[in-house]
Structure 1
Amino acid sequence: MDLNDLKEKAFQNNKVKREYDKLASEFSLIDQLIYMRTQAGLTQAQLAERMHTQKSNISRLERGNANPSWATLQKYANACGFELSLKAEKKQ
């Protein structure tokens, strides 16, 4: 069973789907971080060097195991050659 099949099966349970949806913004942030780094052609180690931090800190950010400040997110984006912005949307 591949990951997509597993997710599809898990999402048949409404409780699992609701919990997953609660984390959608966190997953989106992680995807954006990895996208910026890969578009910049950087490894985690190279990015860490640019940010004057440890590779383990980059890894934690990209796994969602950190609670980064806005300044850290901006530093990450800038080190990858991106600008960061915040978009607010009203809940439906």
Structure 2
Amino acid sequence: MDFKDYLNEQLKDPEFKQEFNSETAKLESAVALTKARKDSGLSQRQLAEVANVPQSTIARIERGDNTSVDTLSKLANALGKKLKVDFS
């Protein structure tokens, strides 16, 4: 069995699927923030100063830890971006 088949089998379990989707959303947020920050040419420390949040908060988000919409909105504004939340 390859990984894709294994994952599809596991996703039939509602509890696993819920946890998988939650972790995927956090990872997608981490990747999006890291990309936007780097595209803007900012270090974590520089973004933290502009957004008025601790640098450790940015580091936590970029490694996939959970955060609030308020914090993501502050970071988006500091990057000159608009935060978009999509329920798909």
Asked whether the two chains share a fold, i.e. TM above 0.5, the reply is yes
Q: Deviations over 1:16-64 (max 9, x none)?
A: x756953322221111111111111100010011122221111011112
Residues paired across the two proteins, number: 79
Q: Structure 1 residues 58, 88: closer, same or farther in 2, change over 3 A?
A: same
| C-alpha distance in 2 between matches for 1:26 and 1:69 | 11
Q: Percent identity?
A: 33
Query: 2:71 is aligned with what amino acid?
Result: T
What's the Cα RMSD here?
Answer: 2.5
Do the aligned residues in 1 keep the contact of 2:29 with 2:61 (CA within 8 Å)?
A: no
The unaligned stretches of length 5 or more in structure 1 are 1-8
Q: Deviations over 1:50-90 (max 9, x none)?
A: 1222211110111122x32211111011111111111111x
Do the aligned residues in 1 keep the contact of 2:44 with 2:55 (CA within 8 Å)?
A: yes
| C-alpha distance in 2 between matches for 1:21 and 1:68 | 17
Map of 1:88 onto structure 2: 87
The unaligned stretches of length 5 or more in structure 2 are none
Do the aligned residues in 2 keep the contact of 1:40 with 1:81 (CA within 8 Å)?
A: no
Displacement over 4 Å in runs of 4+:
17-21
TM-score, with length taken from structure 2: 0.71
TM-score, with length taken from structure 1: 0.69
- Secondary structure of the 1:82 match is coil
